[in-house]
Amino acid sequence: MFKRVLIANRGEIAVRIIRACEELDIETVAIFSEADENALHVQLADHAVCVGSADATDSYLNKDSILRAALETGADAIHPGYGFLSEDADFAEQVTAHGITWIGPMPETIRLVGDKDVARASMQPSGIPMAKGSEPLKNNKEAIKMAKEVGYPVILKPVSGGGGKGMYVAHNEDDLKNILDALVDLKKTNYYFEHYIERSRHIEVQIVADNYGEVIHLGERECSIQRRNQKLLEESPSIALTHEMRKQVGTLAVKAAKSVHYSNVGTVEFLLDLKDNQFYFMEINPRIQVEHGVTEEVTGIDIVRTQIRIAAGEPLDITQADVHFQGHAIECRINAEDPDNNFMPSPGQITFLHEPSGPRVRFDSGVTAGLSIEPYYDSMIAKLIVHGRTRGDAIKIMQRALKEFRIDGVKTTISLHQKILSDSYFRTGNIDTQFIKKRIATYEAQKENGKNYFA
């Protein structure tokens, strides 16, 4: 097992990793920017090193500075968390070249699954179902031709990257021309097409794989509550799946992981087409996910500790038959954004914070009262996670927890989550990836006209 782990991240995921290391008797090294000198992850770690200015490019994305901090503090492993450098195969190679263990998939795997075109090609021989797609696009003329072949509506996606960013939906050629005109340089970002499934649910499967070829899954998460392809609320299990569908998507996820010789933890993402209840592969995320906590709640398995043990060379100590699911978990991502003002970021000092607690409530955060939400980084304040006996039970617990959550000094998305949880369609599980656009947007419009949409 490792003696000392450097955490190449900040905020709640850095705190989460520190907690896992504490339980494994591993010392931790926090890195921080000048703006984060008093941050919670810095206070909790055994050692801390400043790696640059407030600008993330000079600090949390500064590979040389982070690597130097690891070497100077004697860290024998680096955990990248999510975001920042977690999917940077070149940095992972640099780390391992210096004799430091990378807590994540092998660099070649990160590179392979990070290129969606290559990843799709690698999995097609295994029979993984995929929406019809195109090759990477070279120019606007080719893009218009390819869109017709794929069939409208199409979604334009970056070949590399993730997190739902940089995607555009075109329902016809005029839509596509407007998008292409706005993008200016198609080759610079390197896009490709997929046929856009209009009525779908976003289903992802947590996978765990050791370094000896053993791969299991820890069930699925429902991630259909999104705004502009960015997840807002996640839950596990998905009530859209029957026992047979759950077994099917788990098997597909394991097959996808094996087809790219995956190791460590990751997530295989699918779209469930509601027209025919068929799953279509989207991508593999080669890192810990923001929403891993809901899976931990329903399985009782600590995914971050599992990551660390696998990276240390330990084989999986459980089989698929050992994985059992209990109850229902929901996670709300609470961001410092103003939902009443087009989700504008709301940086500033937190002057008061009362964390929700009580039975079956988990609060994952990297902030405390007196600290500031900095404008330079992601606006997440906390992940509020609850675990109930049933989905209805979990909804009630989450409503209570959101009501308890008090924070002053910044605007937050708490009110948005309260609207979601009160919506009749959400409560019955009748949701899809267009839920926010269709239901919450309608609520806002009717509220302006003096109507109570949720009555």
| Token pair of 318 as six digits | 């459980």
Helix (H) and strand (E) counts for the chain? 17, 22
Catalytic residue among 10, 287, 391, 439: 287
Residue pair 294/386 in contact (Cβ under 8 Å)? The answer is no
Beta pairing partners, 341? none
* DSSP of 420-450: HHH-HHHHHT---TTHIIIIIHHHHHHHHTT
Which string of b and e fits 413-442 if b means at least 16 CB within 10 Å? bbebbbbbbebeebeeeebbbebbeebbee
Residue pair 328/388 in contact (Cβ under 8 Å)? The answer is yes
Question: What letter represents residue 225's amino acid?
Answer: I
Mention every residue, 6+ apart, whose C-beta is less than 8 A from residue 442.
453
Q: Residue 236: what are its φ and ψ, rounded to 5°?
A: -150, 135
CA-nearest of 331, 315, 111 to 204 is: 331
- Would you call 246 a catalytic residue per the annotation? no
Half-sphere exposure of 96 (CA within 13 A, CB side): 14
Residue pair 435/224 in contact (Cβ under 8 Å)? The answer is yes
**Which residue numbers are catalytic?**
287
